[in-house]
Amino acid sequence: MPPSLHAEMSVLHRAIVSLARNEQSDAPPPETSESSAEEVVSVGLARMASRTLPTELAKRFEKIQKKLKARKVGSPRRDLGREILELVDPLGHAGWADELMARSLAALPGVGPKRAEGFARRGLERISDLLFWLPTRYEDRRRVVGVGDLEVGRSATFLAEVKVVDWVATRRGGRFGKIFQAVVGDDEAVVTLKWFRGGEMLGAQVAKGRWLLVSGEVRRYRFSKELIHPEIEVVPAPDGTTEGATPGRSSDMTTSEAKSGATSKTDSGARARAGLGRVVPIYATPERMNPRTLRRLIGQSVDAYADLAIGYLPETLTAARKLPSVPDALRALHRPDSKIDVDAYEAFATPSHERLVLEELYLLELGLAMRRAQGARRPGVAIDASRPESRTAAKSLPYRLTGAQRRVVGEILVDLGKPHPMNRLVQGDVGSGKTVVAILAAVAVSACGGQTALMAPTELLAEQHFRTLTKMVEDAGKGMQLRIGLLTASLPRAEIKAVRGLLAMGEIDLVVGTHALVQGEVVFRDLVLSIVDEQHRFGVMQRAALSGARPDGRFPHRLVMTATPIPRSLAMTLYGELDLSVIDELPPGRKPIETILLRAGEGQRVMELIRETLDRKEQVYVVYPLVEESEKLDLRSAIESAEQIARAFPSHRIDLVHGRLDASDRQAAMERFAQAETSILVATTVIEVGVDVAGATLMVIEHAERFGLAQLHQLRGRVGRGGERGRCVLVARGSSEKSEARLRAMTGTRDGFKIADADLEIRGPGDFLGTRQSGHLPELRIADLLRDVQLVSVARQAARDTIEQDPALAGDPATRRAVRKRWGQRIDLTVVG
């Protein structure tokens, strides 16, 4: 393998520095070292000159060379030495290559500041952005088809002569415009090419009689075929009729040979330019950007900058997996040779793809591993986890813990006994019984005099937790001693003040609340455990708030509970710094929920189902979506529906809860429903997460098509929580491809993880992760946590090994810098090590 650019640069840099130093010093240099340095420099500079380098770098070497030439034997010039040093010095600094790659696109020849700005607005800001903007498709121009063989809906490349050129007036979207169009064809057939914009610029190329190489997707237009904004390239006429020299006719063989040689040469040049016989990379092109310009700029930057990109993967890994270097991988993908397997390239399934994907995942996993290591080293509050209180409390419950619950409580207690803060995620499907697990942890903490905070995403849920817990403690009598408080923003001022006072004095063992817990001056006497329920609902800052250092510098233990079904492989990365506990067992006796899909117009059936349920003395939820932009409207339809149902069932009591009610009214309504004083609860999605009323067995979801899949799954989880069979009615009042797919998934499975997979498939990974990631992980440009599941675990293992040996990456500053750059504010490397 030839030495990498970086290796060559560092040798050259050293040699130039030594020459420049000699030039600065008065003493005549030792003859031998001088001459060998001269040689290294001249060879090195020659090699650099033969490379395609970034303009800035090439210019710098030119200047250095000039100055080196200006030296005179025997009469050193200090100023010259200093100037050379100034020029060469930056190249000795770590990160010079990164700096070059971080330049704006304006550093590329032919890109002015204005254009660079346009690109930057579309996310292509730096040269490195171009380098890693990988082709999404490859167009196979190895095969040129005849115009007669064009198939609608497929991309194709063909040669055709321009027959007619025309401007056609149109009215698109109410605006008058002109389409530039050309009818082109070969001996067999013709096809129309159209340009809605930029036709003026094409006039010179697309002229009658010219031959074009055309590439693009063929569409149907009325009874013929057309290509919109195809890529074109003018090529010489295929039969060589342009010049009269047809080989074999001429008597002068020599001239003829020369001529035909020349013709075929220009011919093949044009063919090469047109990408004929090649596989051409196709890039996702941001709107209003010319695909060919983008491809050209990417090509340029790959030629000049690819060698600057370095890899961070441990060599053992790249060797074991036989991966190409990063520069080679970039070249292979952007400048594919003509023998590639297009399918493998498009599937991101080549060693080059693997290298780049692993590079990206490795930096991601390194950050996670460092964050983990950092957390694991902080001082925490160890409690005596062997005390009997939490076992006693478990015994005093009205039910036996499931095996999974017992296991998870055990895992938590072990963590609580350690002198470093716990960081644990408890994942369990809706209804798996996460709350009681959290409570038992709080009991263990309070037995040792510590406090626990439980933060819920909505006031409704906080209020419910508070109610459930109070009752649980009351029922358990002496078995469970826990002083509980509630803190939400909509409580009366005086009450908030009182609760705060009690917290500060240590008179409350477990405080349940919303983000009000982290606002203002809430002071804990001894916060040992902070629990976040349904953490995906919180912003990053709020999530972090309760796990910050206590006044004594120690960190509370942290427990995160989520029912959001996330495929396990993803959970490991999304919550990479957390340890994972899974409650993979539902309490016994749960009967599977039946899911019924109804359409608009089947309102009668809904009423029947409600009546049946009420006749069995069971309760009903009717849920309306509450979408912000039409909040008032939705509220009105919820109110109307409540009135309608009330009229239909005059002997039953009905309540309406929504986000606009104040806390006490809402709490009272929930209480009435929980006590079965009301039979029907009409609600907006404020009841989505966690609401727990055992007597409710029917869930009617209106406008089910407007809910997300995770939301539907959560809502469905609200019924069938007691011994009775639950039913969930999805009333679809509209339909789209995606909403139908969601509804199909809901009727097809009840398994949260299968739902998550379906969700992912329907929404696509970007969107799916977007809402969950909410900024706590760096963005991935190449890797895809789903497509590359296998590689994620390879990268994670490599990262954990690395961090185990060198927790702060002290021995590898380049990688450390890269991690910091990738993670930005989200990781604090200063505390590590």
Q: List residues near ligand ADP by CB under 6 A.
A: 399-402, 405, 428, 430-436, 563, 587, 690, 692, 694, 721
State the minimum distance, in angstroms, from the CB of residue 713 to ligand ADP: 11
Q: What does 399 bind: Mg ion, ligand ADP, none (CB cut-off 5 to 8 Å by kind)?
A: ligand ADP
In this structure, what is the dihedral angle of CA atoms 194, 200, 205, 209, given to the nearest 10 degrees?
70
The one-letter amino acid code at 653 reads: R
Nearer to ligand ADP, 649 or 753 (CB): 753
Residue 233 CA to residue 211 CA, distance in Å, equals: 8
Nearer to ligand ADP, 435 or 451 (CB): 435
Q: What does 587 bind: Mg ion, ligand ADP, none (CB cut-off 5 to 8 Å by kind)?
A: ligand ADP
- Asked if 773 and 574 touch (Cβ cutoff 8 Å), the reply is yes
Residue 431 CA to residue 584 CA, distance in Å, equals: 11
Q: Classify strands 594-599 and 680-684 as parallel, antiparallel or unpaired.
A: unpaired
Token pair recorded at residue 277: 């016989």
Nearer to ligand ADP, 646 or 694 (CB): 694
State the minimum distance, in angstroms, from the CB of residue 822 to ligand ADP: 35
State the minimum distance, in angstroms, from the CB of residue 664 to Mg ion: 23
Q: What does 129 bind: ligand ADP, Mg ion, none (CB cut-off 5 to 8 Å by kind)?
A: none
The one-letter amino acid code at 403 reads: G
Nearer to Mg ion, 161 or 463 (CB): 463
State the minimum distance, in angstroms, from the CB of residue 395 to ligand ADP: 12
State the minimum distance, in angstroms, from the CB of residue 813 to ligand ADP: 45
Helices (H), 540-662: 540-545, 568-574, 603-615, 631-648
Element containing residue 822 per DSSP (H, E): helix 813-823
330: exposed, middle or buried (C-beta count within 10 Å: 0-12, 13-18, 19+)? buried
Q: What does 694 bind: ligand ADP, Mg ion, none (CB cut-off 5 to 8 Å by kind)?
A: ligand ADP
State the minimum distance, in angstroms, from the CB of residue 440 to ligand ADP: 11
| Residues shown for the chain | 833
Residue given tokens 């070249």 in the structure block: 331
Which of 814, 597, 632 shows the shortest CA–CA distance to 727?
Answer: 597
Q: What does 453 bind: Mg ion, ligand ADP, none (CB cut-off 5 to 8 Å by kind)?
A: none
Nearer to ligand ADP, 88 or 456 (CB): 456
Nearer to ligand ADP, 723 or 766 (CB): 723
- Asked if 355 and 326 touch (Cβ cutoff 8 Å), the reply is yes
Q: What does 432 bind: ligand ADP, Mg ion, none (CB cut-off 5 to 8 Å by kind)?
A: ligand ADP
Q: What does 405 bind: Mg ion, ligand ADP, none (CB cut-off 5 to 8 Å by kind)?
A: ligand ADP
Provide the 3-class DSSP secondary structure of residue 452: strand
Q: What does 118 bind: Mg ion, ligand ADP, none (CB cut-off 5 to 8 Å by kind)?
A: none
Q: What does 401 bind: Mg ion, ligand ADP, none (CB cut-off 5 to 8 Å by kind)?
A: ligand ADP
Which of 822, 779, 46 shows the shortest CA–CA distance to 370?
Answer: 822
Q: What does 402 bind: Mg ion, ligand ADP, none (CB cut-off 5 to 8 Å by kind)?
A: ligand ADP
Site of interaction with Mg ion (CB under 5 A): 690
State the minimum distance, in angstroms, from the CB of residue 389 to ligand ADP: 19
Which of 340, 211, 183 shows the shortest CA–CA distance to 274?
Answer: 211
User: In the bound complex, which residue of the shown chain has the CB atom lying closest to ligand ADP?
Assistant: 433
The one-letter amino acid code at 291 reads: P
Nearer to ligand ADP, 13 or 537 (CB): 537
- Asked if 453 and 529 touch (Cβ cutoff 8 Å), the reply is yes
Residue 316 CA to residue 322 CA, distance in Å, equals: 10
Nearer to Mg ion, 690 or 726 (CB): 690
State the minimum distance, in angstroms, from the CB of residue 434 to Mg ion: 5
Q: What does 430 bind: ligand ADP, Mg ion, none (CB cut-off 5 to 8 Å by kind)?
A: ligand ADP
Nearer to ligand ADP, 226 or 692 (CB): 692
> In Å, what is the CA distance from 548 to each residue of 245, 414, 518, 555?
84, 21, 11, 6
Nearer to ligand ADP, 496 or 728 (CB): 728
State the minimum distance, in angstroms, from the CB of residue 717 to ligand ADP: 6
State the minimum distance, in angstroms, from the CB of residue 421 to ligand ADP: 23
State the minimum distance, in angstroms, from the CB of residue 429 to ligand ADP: 7
Which of 454, 467, 442 shows the shortest CA–CA distance to 515?
Answer: 454
Residue 381 CA to residue 73 CA, distance in Å, equals: 72
State the minimum distance, in angstroms, from the CB of residue 467 to ligand ADP: 12
User: In the bound complex, which residue of the shown chain has the CB atom lying closest to Mg ion?
Assistant: 690
Q: Specify whether the backbone of 288 is left (phi greater than 0), alpha (psi in -120 to 50) or beta.
A: left
Provide the 3-class DSSP secondary structure of residue 213: strand
Which of 528, 525, 522, 595 shows the shortest CA–CA distance to 559?
Answer: 528
Nearer to ligand ADP, 118 or 587 (CB): 587
Q: What does 692 bind: Mg ion, ligand ADP, none (CB cut-off 5 to 8 Å by kind)?
A: ligand ADP
499-534 burial code (b ≥16 CB/10 A, e <16):
bbebbeeeebbbbbbbbbbbeeebebebbbbbbbbb
User: ∠54-56-59 over CA atoms, to 5°?
Assistant: 110
- Asked if 185 and 245 touch (Cβ cutoff 8 Å), the reply is no
Residue 556 CA to residue 420 CA, distance in Å, equals: 9
Q: Report the DSSP beta bridge partners of residue 487.
A: 513
Nearer to ligand ADP, 563 or 620 (CB): 563
State the minimum distance, in angstroms, from the CB of residue 423 to Mg ion: 20
State the minimum distance, in angstroms, from the CB of residue 679 to ligand ADP: 19
> In Å, what is the CA distance from 171 to each residue of 176, 196, 224, 274?
4, 11, 21, 33
Nearer to ligand ADP, 147 or 561 (CB): 561
Nearer to ligand ADP, 721 or 750 (CB): 721
Q: What does 697 bind: ligand ADP, Mg ion, none (CB cut-off 5 to 8 Å by kind)?
A: none
State the minimum distance, in angstroms, from the CB of residue 691 to Mg ion: 9
State the minimum distance, in angstroms, from the CB of residue 524 to ligand ADP: 24
Describe the chain by its helix, strand, coil percentages, rounded to 5. Answer: 50, 15, 35
* Terminal-to-terminal C-alpha distance of the chain: 36
Residue 390 CA to residue 479 CA, distance in Å, equals: 9
Nearer to Mg ion, 457 or 690 (CB): 690
Nearer to ligand ADP, 276 or 441 (CB): 441
Nearer to ligand ADP, 199 or 565 (CB): 565
Q: What does 530 bind: Mg ion, ligand ADP, none (CB cut-off 5 to 8 Å by kind)?
A: none
State the minimum distance, in angstroms, from the CB of residue 741 to ligand ADP: 25
Residue 567 CA to residue 769 CA, distance in Å, equals: 11
Residue given tokens 């209180």 in the structure block: 389
The one-letter amino acid code at 583 reads: I
Which of 51, 645, 627, 523 shows the shortest CA–CA distance to 305?
Answer: 51
